[in-house]
Chains A and B, each alone.
Chain A
Amino acid sequence: MSILTEIVENLIVGDDEKVSALTQKAIDDGVLPKQILDDGLIAGMNTIGQQFKNHEIFLPDVLMAARAMYAGMDKLRPLLLKEGIPSPGKVVLGTVRGDLHDIGKNLVGIMLKGAGFEVIDLGNDVSPEKFIQTAREHDAAVIGMSALLTTTMSAMKEVTYQLKEEGLAGRIKVIVGGAPVSAEFAVEIGADAHGYDAANAVERVKSLISEN
């Protein structure tokens, strides 16, 4: 079994200590950091994402795998930075103002990181201004917003409106999601995409970034 396969298998079962040790061993053995990232950590998270989508595993399984991925990333990150290997893109993520529900948003963030994206997670109760200001500061390609309540989802429209007002619409893409949020609502408020679950959100973000 190759060391990259071992990383994948240990990541899937959430063994963070082994993933950390195996990532270090792969580095020491001269495996390219990008290859460890793509064929080890990201490959493992892709499998986890697929299993979760198919209802074969539960949220805690995903989170244990994510912790293992982070353990591997801690070893890889300095090398990726040193070699100037860019992430596929930056995504600013948050639950909208007035809403504290963030399990779905956290999962999207984890799956995006698992796909190699750089995620700036603003947490919950995020104002429209904060979304836009952070996206500007970090030169993010995408803003992702989540809401669980019908009474708070209207805050999403403020972001798309302000982006348009500031001439940023199209340059900073917007994806929305959450229980009451539909594809129709996304179109209605001028968002660029709707993610109906975490795996779908990752696919949609990939599409949005490839359009840029």
Chain B
Amino acid sequence: MPQCSGRRLAGRTATAGGGCATQQSRGVPAPESRCYTLHSRGRLCYTVIMIELLTFSTDDLRPSRDQVLQNQGIPAGVAVPAEIDALCSNAIDLMLEIAAPAGVLLEISKPDFATVYQGQGQNEASTPVGDIFPRAENLALFAATLGQGVSREIKNLFESNDLALAAMFDSAASAAADRLGELAEIRFAEFLDQNGRNTPETCVLRYSPGYCGWHISGQKKLFEFLHPEQIGLTLRDSSLMEPLKSVSGVIIVGPKEIHSFPMSYPFCSQCETRGCRERIRMLSAD
């Protein structure tokens, strides 16, 4: 499914679990950020684009118990034995102790994103992202990782046969990685707010290669533009990211309507996760 929760730019409030994309609002140094003013035929265009290295507080990443348990196939709100609750809590604490999160965010023009999206030419003929991004107001590429230590710990726990903790730790890390994507969205929204580039009805959603017909090989072009090697992220030959507990994609900013699409793409009939419906429902509920 696309990796996103919906949020509006104007009047947006912090989301559960912190909501600060960087440590800037917590009185610690601001992330490394550079902004550029675009020129066109010698004339100033007054469009500020940005590239930013993101830092995250581990508190911002803390996933909820329900998120982690849902990743284990346990529906939200279901009562579980105290032993499982304790396991979940331990796994979250351990994961946050080990995580070394970092991210990078790069604003990108539509023509450039068209090149990124084209990727290796393996996308489905028609996809939600392909239909949505031409109608966007602003776009940014992002990538973020929990760091190699998290992946190493998952492997260690499985190898030592601590299976329940290993799987719970893995689920906690997946939820935290997803949170990194949310925080990147929030940071880009803040940037647009600060530069007066939003409208009251603008919504921000992220989409990732590998989901909804955007082929996983699209990561290669995305990495060529974004250069997340600077935060320790690399691509395997298969286009999976290393470390594994990482997220990447495009943040699409535009009117709410552009993000709403029917499940009528050919590949939708095979999809069982249907996470897109929850995203669209959240947008409608805003």
Contacts and interface: CB of A to CB of B under 8 A. Distances in A.
Interface of A: 14, 58-61, 63-64, 66-67, 70-71, 97-100, 103, 106, 110, 124-125, 127, 148-153, 179-180, 182, 185
Contacts, number: 86
A59 B167 contact: yes
Contact of A150 (B80, B238, B244, B271): B271
A194 to B, nearest CB: 13
Contacts of A59: 72-74, 167
A171 B154 CA distance: 35
B167 A150 contact: no
Given A58-B74, A106-B158, A124-B240, 11 more contacts: A60-B167, A64-B163, A66-B163, A98-B239, A98-B240, A103-B73, A103-B171, A106-B167, A125-B236, A125-B238, A150-B270
A125 B163 contact: no
Given A58-B72, A110-B163, A127-B238, A100 B244 contact: yes
B6 interface: no
B282 interface: no
Interface stretch (B181-189, B207-215, B255-263): B207-215
Nearest to B160: A67
A179 B273 contact: yes
Interface in B144-176: 158, 161-164, 166-168, 170-171
A58 B73 CA distance: 8
Nearest to A16: B161
B87 interface: yes
B158, B161, B163, B211, most chain A CB atoms within 10 A: B163
B213 A151 contact: yes
Chain A at the B interface: SS class: loop
B271 A63 contact: no
Interface string B79-98: 01101100100000000000
A63 B240 contact: no
Contacts of B162: 67
A49 B73 CA distance: 15
A63, A70, A151, most chain B CB atoms within 10 A: A151
A24 B73 CA distance: 35
B167 A153 contact: no
Given A58-B72, A67-B161, A67-B164, A148 B238 contact: no
Contacts of A103: 71-73, 167, 170-171
Contacts of B267: 150-151
Contact of A180 (B161, B210, B270): B270
A105 to B, nearest CB: 12
A63, A152, A153, most chain B CB atoms within 10 A: A63
Interface in B236-270: 236, 238-240, 244, 267, 270
A85 B3 CA distance: 48
A149 B211 contact: yes
A143 B70 CA distance: 29
A150 B167 CA distance: 23
A35 B13 CA distance: 62
Interface in B197-220: 210-211, 213-217
B286 interface: no
A150 B272 CA distance: 9
- 9 nearest CB pairs, A to B: A63-B164, A63-B163, A179-B272, A98-B216, A60-B164, A180-B270, A150-B267, A59-B72, A98-B238
A23 B73 CA distance: 32
Given A98-B240, A106-B167, A127-B238, A60 B270 contact: no
A151 B72 contact: no
A152 B73 CA distance: 21
Contacts of B214: 151
Contact of B216 (A61, A106, A151): A151
B164 A149 contact: no
Contact of A151 (B71, B80, B211, B244): B211
